Structure 1
Amino acid sequence: MNENTIRVRGIDYYVETAGAEDLPTIVFLHGFTGSTATWQEVTKMLKGKYRTVAIDLTGHGKTSIPRDVNRYSMDEQVEDLEELFNALSFQQFKLVGYSMGGRVALAYTIRYPKRVTSLILESSSPGLKTENERMERQAADGRLADRIVSEGLRAFIDFWGNIPLFSSQKKLLAEKQLAVKNERLSQSETGLANSLRGIGTGSQASYWDRLHTVNLPVLLITGELDTKFVNISREMQSYFPNVRHETIDHTGHAIHVEKPDTFATMIEEHISELKNRGGSL
């Protein structure tokens, strides 16, 4: 694995790559409180078959933590990614995004569709449909951001790890639960609070009315126990022209954490299916 820090538009982005340059490239974007570390089990399983690229998004992991909340907006992060891919000399790739990273991946694909040969969204959404929903969510995310700053990182991570969205992770081995917690604790109050304010679901535009423009192959992956996102993906399925939705049994929001072998297999099967159909790698 190669570790690099690449300066893009005033921000130092941390990037982990593995695999030969002539292999098909898969780019991975993590979720809120995550980092490149969240993908390591999956990328190890893909070793030798693909070039894998994991990126710490703005304010997360080892990437810079801007104090200006506007620097976390969806538009800013999409432009950062485009410049980062230019710096890495990437032409085309498959794009995988989890939760918040899925929203970024979708926004990037809509802006730069010729870059992405297929899009894999794990437990993600196109945003909220109405202005009222977005305003309510912005207010809720703002209160949560204030809580992070006032109570500190450790108190927030203790709270965040116990929300219903992650209840299925309580069944994981203690070692894996500790790894997830330590990854979250490696973040910063400023990075997390500004992410909620700048790129929270309420702060981004709704992409529901743009899904029909995404003509490339899309794979939606959800966990059976994550009912909210199963339902969102089912609705998204009716908008995308070229889409498949897979729901994994006995699994919650973070399929790649709870069942990394299943997740890696699904990526491989998706790519193999596209190859058999004559799609681009």
Structure 2
Amino acid sequence: MILQARGINVNVRIWNDHLEQTIVMLHGFTGSVATWCNVAIPIKNHRIVAIDLMGHGQTDSPQDIAPYTMEEQILQLDEIFQQLNLHEVILLGYSMGGRTALSYAKTFPDRVSHLILESASPGLKSEEERAKRRASDESLADQIQTSGIEVFVNKWENIPLFKTQKKLPPDVQLEVRKERLAQTEIGLANSLRGAGTGAQSSLWSSLGEISMPVTLITGEQDDKFCQIAEEMQALLQNAQHVCVKNTGHAIHVENPEQFATIVKDAIKIK
């Protein structure tokens, strides 16, 4: 369904709508609500609310960059939660969606009972790193708009971060590719410009303030994000880190059954 928040049409998909306890799931860059299908189905004791973030899926992709900032997206999410009468949620985010989930939890801690972050980071630590990343993201955004989605996806699906996905069955790889190809040039480009890792403020210094339980999930073949998760765990008040064998960056795609089991165990679903 489409809901409007802060002037933006936002696409929302819900499973188990008759239940009260809710897990909100936020996808990564080039993703959509479709990425959660194989995770949502095995979780039968909670309502699942998946949201297409700005510039992705069926949510609006305006030319104006202002709605894409992390600060604005957090306010959009909060309006969506209010419209759905979600006063307290379990918030799960993958990669870019994980950064968004962490930012929301920091801003509205009373609204989040448990935070689940898959292959996510609190951003870059130094302004020098952020400036370098902003320049890189701006260059990539220009390339997307100039060359088009298909040329971009052909490159994106072959970056080292996703090398483990080459082992997936052909039909699964095809579904991931179709999801990426369904995006728009302006949506992805402005997502990078407004909410990329370089554009986002660092949350490293705020981790110690987060008191709700946090579950960090990474794939053992994703060395970078395993290290980030270990550093985050040391700074968070109440965190556990689950490292999943034989997987890389997108555990929920590479092993959705095990990912769903980890989520259920983390939030004590019987």
TM-score when normalising by structure 1? 0.95
Q: Tell me the alpha carbon deviations over residues 161-218 of structure 1, each in whole angstroms, 9 at most, x when there is no partner.
A: 0000000000000000000000000000000000011100000000001011110000
**Selected match of 1:41 from 38, 43, 47:** 38
Does 2:123 align with 1:131?
no
Alpha-carbon distance between aligned partners in 1 of 2:221 and 2:26, rounded to the nearest angstrom: 22
**Selected match of 1:97 from 72, 82, 93:** 93
**Selected match of 1:216 from 208, 212, 215:** 212
Alpha-carbon distance between aligned partners in 2 of 1:192 and 1:22, rounded to the nearest angstrom: 33
Letter in structure 2 aligned against 1:61: G
Unaligned runs of 5+ in 1: 276-281
Q: Tell me the alpha carbon deviations over residues 245-269 of structure 1, each in whole angstroms, 9 at most, x when there is no partner.
A: 0110110000000000000000110
Residues paired across the two proteins, number = 270
Does 2:13 align with 1:9?
no
Q: Tell me the alpha carbon deviations over residues 2-25 of structure 1, each in whole angstroms, 9 at most, x when there is no partner.
A: xx1001111000000111443421
Does 2:46 align with 1:50?
yes
Letter in structure 2 aligned against 1:263: F
Unaligned runs of 5+ in 2: none
Contact 2:17 2:48 in 1 (8 A): no
Alpha-carbon distance between aligned partners in 1 of 2:246 and 2:133, rounded to the nearest angstrom: 29
2:244 corresponding residue in structure 1: 248
Does 2:195 align with 1:199?
yes
Alpha-carbon distance between aligned partners in 2 of 1:75 and 1:130, rounded to the nearest angstrom: 19
TM-score when normalising by structure 2? 0.98
Please report how far the alpha carbon of residue 124 of structure 1 lies from its aligned counterpart in structure 2 after TM superposition: 0.3
Alpha-carbon distance between aligned partners in 2 of 1:100 and 1:22, rounded to the nearest angstrom: 27
Q: How does 1:70-81 map to 2 (within 5 A)?
A: 70-81=66-77
2:151 corresponding residue in structure 1: 155
Alpha-carbon distance between aligned partners in 1 of 2:78 and 2:258, rounded to the nearest angstrom: 30
Secondary structure of 2:201's partner?
coil
1:82 corresponding residue in structure 2: 78
Give the root-mean-square deviation of aligned CA atoms: 1.0
Letter in structure 1 aligned against 2:123: G
